[in-house]
Amino acid sequence: MTYPENYGYTKEHEWVSVEGGVCVVGITFHAQKELGDIVYVDLPRPNTAVEAGKTFGSVESVKAVSDIFAPVSGEVVEVNQALADAPEMLNEKPHDAAWLVKIKLSNPEEIKSLMSAADYQSYLGG
C-alpha cells in the first residue's frame, strides 16, 4: 500500500491533507485494515469546534468501536455525507473518497507536528 507523499500522518492513524486553510482528514489504510469491515461512522456536525488530540467521532466495525482523534484544532466545515450510506468506502478508498471531515485550521503551526509518509511507514514498521 502506498501512502500519499503530500499528506501528513498521526500516531492515531489519521491522515491530513492541507488545501489552503482547510484540512481534509481521514483514516489511513493501516487503520481500516486493523478495524476490519467498517459498518458505521459517527461524525460531528458542521460548525463543531475540535481540538487536536481530542476525540471527535468514532468508527465502528461489527464488534469494535474506535475513537477518531482530531489531528489539528479548528472548526469542522464539511462532513463526508456519503459515508452515512456507504461506510464500506472506508475499507475501499481510505485515502481519497472516504475522507471524514474538513477542518478549518485555527492553529496552522500544528501541521508541523504531523509525520511524513516515510516517517509514518517506519512508525508502522517499528
**C-alpha cell, 42:** 459517527
Least distance (Å) between residue 65 CB and another protein: 5
Burial of 109 (0-12, 13-18, 19+ CB in 10 A): exposed
Q: Which stretch binds another protein (CB under 8 A): 44-52, 63-71, 97-105, 108-116?
A: 63-71
* Distance, CA of 18 to CA of 105 (rounded, Å): 9
* 97 belongs to the binding site for another protein (CB under 8 A): no
Among 65, 92, 107, 118, binds another protein (CB under 8 A): 65
Least distance (Å) between residue 77 CB and another protein: 22
**C-alpha cell, 114:** 504531523
CB nearer to another protein: pick between 4 and 36: 36
β 55-61/49-50 pair status: unpaired
Residue ranges that bind another protein, judged by CB under 8 A: 37, 39-40, 60-65, 87-88
